[in-house]
């Protein structure tokens, strides 16, 4: 398990969270505040929602991560960065690869370059496991050869590469965290399977599954992913490190649909199958052994419990 680097949470450090008004950001910001961080959020509010931060002691900056001057200003006085801002849809990246490149590659480069110039101590980059590795026999891990099959996966691969290069060339202490499929509260604006399933269940519409239902993912509750990010910010690990944050559990789309139906109390709700969509990985789940050994990371929330928490949040805030 990694040892906390000095100074750690609670010591008054200031952190910039890019994309902090988004799904993961809204959860991470709350945890960082609880740990005593002073938090500044930079978000363009394309998909994020400022109301997710209502009532929180957060400094909010509306701005674009692709503009160096905006990022430089947001980094003033900052010790660490959690870089979450991204165009996160595989499907949209296939439809509009140029837009995905602009946000995820140019934006990430800009954040890294400005962080280097601002002498930021630590930067955690939010990467991806499945989309970056591509089609490979799971479980995948940090030794798996990346062969992305979508522009989104390629953009995250580039971000990791620049993170490692900046660590070795400039001494910027970067850590890349490869996310499993994250779900949980504050995801009502997202287009992932769980959001779509819950909305369909509430509206008494069929659950739509693309493909034969055997495609699989590794589903990680948002509190666990945020805990992994926090460990990446403080653990005594080498600059340029890469870690999979996952559960190691393979869940097919059909199994996910069944779990959602079970949590909502509609176990016989109809399912409709449609042709698969291009750019999406068939099977994926990941080993988190390295993250456990070096970061001290371990998931704590099982799928049914996490889905139940998410469903209750949706009932209160979305549906």
DSSP, residue by residue, 121-176: SEEEEEEESHHHH-S--SSB-TTSPP--SSHHHHHHHHHHHHHHHHHHHH---EEE
Q: What is the pLDDT along the chain (319 residues), one digit of tens a residue?
A: 343 343 344 445 999 999 999 999 999 999 999 999 999 999 999 999 999 999 999 999 999 999 999 999 999 999 999 999 999 899 999 999 999 999 999 999 999 999 999 999 999 999 999 899 999 999 999 999 999 999 999 999 999 999 999 999 999 999 999 999 999 999 988 888 999 999 999 999 999 999 999 999 999 999 999 999 999 999 999 999 999 999 999 999 999 999 999 999 999 999 999 999 888 889 999 999 999 999 999 999 999 999 999 999 999 998 7
pLDDT in tens, 180-233: 999 999 998 888 899 999 999 999 999 999 999 999 999 999 999 999 999 999
pTM over 0.75: yes
Q: Compute the distance between CA of residue 137 and CA of residue 278 in angstroms, rounded to an integer.
A: 19
Q: Compute the distance between CA of residue 287 and CA of residue 84 in angstroms, rounded to an integer.
A: 22
Q: Compute the distance between CA of residue 150 and CA of residue 282 in angstroms, rounded to an integer.
A: 12
State residue 15 phi and psi, 5-degree precision: -125, 140
- Contact at 8 Å (CB) between 284 and 206? no
pLDDT in tens, 119-128: 999 999 999 9
Q: How much is the pLDDT for 192?
A: 87
Q: Where are the domains of the chain?
A: 14-184+219-248+287-300
Of 281, 73, 204, 219, nearest to 62 by C-alpha is 73
Could you give the residue numbers annotated as active site? 152
| Domain boundaries 14-184+219-248+287-300, corresponding CATH code | 3.40.50.720
pLDDT in tens, 260-277: 999 999 999 999 999 998
């Amino acid at each position: 398990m990694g040892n906390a680097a000095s100074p750690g949470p609670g010591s008054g450090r200031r952190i910039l969270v890019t994309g902090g008004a988004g799904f993961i950001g809204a959860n991470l910001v709350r945890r960082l505040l609880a740990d005593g961080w002073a938090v500044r959020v930079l978000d363009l509010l394309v998909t994020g929602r400022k109301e997710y931060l209502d009532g929180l002691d957060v400094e909010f900056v509306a701005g674009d991560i692709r503009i160096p001057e905006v990022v430089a200003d947001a980094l003033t006085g900052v010790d660490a960065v959690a870089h979450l801002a991204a165009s996160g849809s595989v499907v949209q990246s296939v439809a509009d690869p140029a837009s995905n490149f602009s946000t995820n590659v140019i934006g990430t480069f800009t954040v890294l370059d400005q962080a280097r110039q601002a002498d930021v101590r630590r930067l955690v980059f939010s990467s991806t496991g499945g989309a970056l590795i591509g089609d490979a026999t799971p479980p995948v891990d940090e030794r798996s050869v990346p062969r992305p099959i979508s522009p989104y996966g390629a953009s995250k691969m580039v971000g990791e590469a620049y993170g490692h290069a900046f660590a070795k060339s400039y001494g910027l202490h970067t850590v890349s965290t490869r996310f499993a499929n994250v779900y949980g509260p504050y995801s009502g604006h997202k287009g992932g399977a769980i959001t779509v399933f819950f909305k369909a269940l509430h509206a008494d519409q069929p659950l739509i599954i693309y493909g034969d239902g055997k495609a699989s993912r590794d589903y990680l509750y948002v509190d666990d992913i945020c805990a992994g990010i926090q460990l990446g910010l403080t653990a005594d690990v080498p600059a340029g490190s890469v870690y999979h944050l996952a559960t190691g559990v393979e869940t097919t789309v059909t199994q996910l649909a069944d779990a959602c139906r079970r949590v909502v109390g509609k176990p016989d709700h109809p399912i409709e199958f449609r042709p698969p969509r291009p750019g999406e990985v068939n099977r994926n789940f990941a080993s988190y052994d390295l993250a456990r050994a070096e970061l001290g990371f371990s998931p704590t929330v099982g799928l049914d419990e996490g889905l139940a928490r998410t469903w209750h949040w949706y009932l209160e805030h979305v549906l």
